A and B are shown apart, each in its own frame.
Chain A
Amino acid sequence: MDYLVTHSPALIVALPLLAAFAIPLISRLGPRVRAVLCLAVLGLVAALVAILAVDVHAVGIRLYTFGATAPEMALPGGYMVPVRIMFEVDGMSIFMGIVITTVAVASLIYSLQFLNGQTGQARFYSLMMLLYVGMMGLAFTGDMFNMFVFLEIASIAGTGLAAYRTNMADAVEGGFKYIVISAVSALMVLLAIGILYAQYNVLSIAALAHYMQYTTLDMMALGLLAGAFVMKLAGVPLHMWAPDTYTVAPAGTTPMILAASYTSMYALYRITFTLYGGHIDTAAIGWIVIIVGVLSMFVGVMMAVHQTDIKRMMAYHAISQGGYMLLGVGVGLAVIADPVALANYGRDAMNGGIFHIINHVFYKAMLFMTAEAIFFRVGTRDTNKMGGLARNMKWTAIFYAIGALAISGIPPFNGFASKLLIYQTVLSFNPVLSVIAMFVSLVTLASFAKVFYSAFTGPEMPGYKEVREVPKSMLIGMGILAACIILFGIFPGLIVDTIVAPATEALINQAPYINAVMGAAP
């Protein structure tokens, strides 16, 4: 067991990486063998993530230094700075690990029957595994250069998946847009890393945070990093690529690409809080995050309610919901230097923002799956052409209703729990922001009610009399996420206490992250 715990950070990334390259070979033995391999690998990795989560919760930060005589040894003998590739898993990293792994398992199960009869499945599953590797690596990495490497892996795999349906022109266009914005963002990240490396000769996040002098060049690097990650997380006004890409990606992969966006949000938080935290003007930067959050909430929801393409509508809602996460964490960042405000509402605001990440990924992933279930059976995403689908697609309608109520913040679903924390805490910070957040939830409900009414209710349309419910694996994929939505809604205190609060603590207090690596350094 100790061996597994010690090596789990590396195994969680290595196993799916090996599987990604083995899948094209295994596929020659048949789709059933390939499915078993994918399920076995992700099942094993999910178990490792659970083991690692328990360890991080009980013991604290888990270091894994590649090539060291002991994985926990960050500094080689005689060295004052870390030079090896390193994973550093703290409360925030493992929180993202749980989010990404849950979505990956549900997406994989959903895709098994969704892809039946389609060509290029070996490449699809390879890319899916690579996307998982990219996201987990980004969440676990302890150095800036590997942050860039894993960002690239996730971007390239995400592009391949977005453009998977090459017979559809808009899919190729969506994939193209994703690779353009990803490449430009990654180049800016690389430039920023170059600026930091040129000054400090280190790449480790902990070492950089330890030696940071907050020079003008450092501030320029922060601007580049923030811009790049805001682009990747689709924050307004850099959100426009998201509807184009999310809409066209196959159902099993849209949730994964969505999770990749929130992994970029994680990177933004890691940079802002851990790398630069403590010595910058956190109030000003917190307000910038809040403004981006409020703009994302408002613009996203107003664009969403206007859409008639069901996936495009959901994509705009993804932008809008991302705004809540930025708002909650932004409020925490704005008051981080004020211990009284931080204790009174700042920490809880961050809890709300971080809790909303996992809640949103679950219900939005399920909503995307319901949209693609409709496309799977009806062959269109245009809600103008739909009607009466609940008669023949009862389970899909139920899952859609659960997701719609959750995203609108209706109790007792999980979206309500995180939104309530955000409303309450933001009210103490600035009541106007709280009112905007509530208004956005109202428009969200209106938007999802419109689609539910036009797609699922009403008379049976003549062209859809033969429509049937989707295959079981797709229902199981949606069911896993629906169960998470309900459980997280009924036991929010348990989730906040066990996985959200440690993530918030990891962001607020940068010292343990730095000391885990630099503890022995002068």
Chain B
Amino acid sequence: MSALSYEAYAVWVPIVWVAALVVIGVIVLAWRNRGQKSYKKGTAQTDIFLSGIKVPPEEQRHVKAENVYWGFFEALKGFYSVLMRPHTGVVNDYILWFVALVAVAILILVLGA
């Protein structure tokens, strides 16, 4: 009963996939445990190297949400200026959109009937 069928054949059998994920997870963890353990924490071995530039304190190194995907938003600046324009936050505008949509819907329905 766990399978999801479409057109009478199973397209998604989650239990098989979950079992496969568990097996893969165990293999990955086992592989990881074979890794290098001899390094010393808190020494120069684990310090960040930033081309010789002084590394800022930990709190200042966290990238803020507004800077994540900066390039994506910069590239789509024109698209976003168009997308933002109708989002005025003014409830009068929301109702205007509603009136316009209802008018179009009625026209389509009445003319198509």
Contact = CB atoms under 8 A, between A and B. Distances in A.
Interface of A: 176-177, 180-181, 184-185, 188, 214, 216, 219-220, 222-224, 226-228, 230-231, 237-238, 240-241, 244, 280-281, 284-285, 288, 299, 302-303, 305-306, 308, 344-345, 348, 383-384, 386-388, 411-412, 416-417, 420-421, 424-425, 446, 450-451, 453-455, 458-462, 489-494, 496-497
Most buried by A among B1, B89, B109: B109
Contacts of A424: 6, 11
Contacts of B11: 420-421, 424
Nearest to B106: A223
- The prevalent SS among residues of B at the interface is helix
Contacts of B63: 453-454, 458
A40 B79 CA distance: 51
Given A306-B80, A348-B6, A288 B69 contact: no
A513 to B, nearest CB: 22
10 contacts: A181-B91, A220-B110, A288-B108, A306-B73, A345-B6, A411-B12, A412-B17, A417-B4, A421-B4, A450-B69
A491 B18 contact: no
Given A219-B106, A348-B6, A496-B4, A177 B65 contact: no
Nearest to A176: B91
Nearest to A411: B17
A78 to B, nearest CB: 35
B56 to A, nearest CB: 11
Nearest to A383: B65
Contacts of A491: 1-2, 14
Contacts of B2: 490-494
B41 interface: no
A219 B110 contact: yes
B4 A244 contact: no
A284 B108 contact: yes
Contact of B106 (A224, A288, A299, A453): A224
Given A222-B109, A412-B18, A450 B65 contact: yes
Given A237-B86, A492-B2, A214 B65 contact: no
- The prevalent SS among residues of A at the interface is helix
B14 A412 contact: yes
Contacts of A222: 109
B94 A345 contact: no
Contact of B62 (A305, A388, A416, A451): A388
A489 B64 contact: no
B68 interface: yes
Contacts of A450: 65, 68-69
A227 B1 contact: no
A454 B64 contact: yes
Interface string B39-82: 00000000000000000001101111110110011000001100
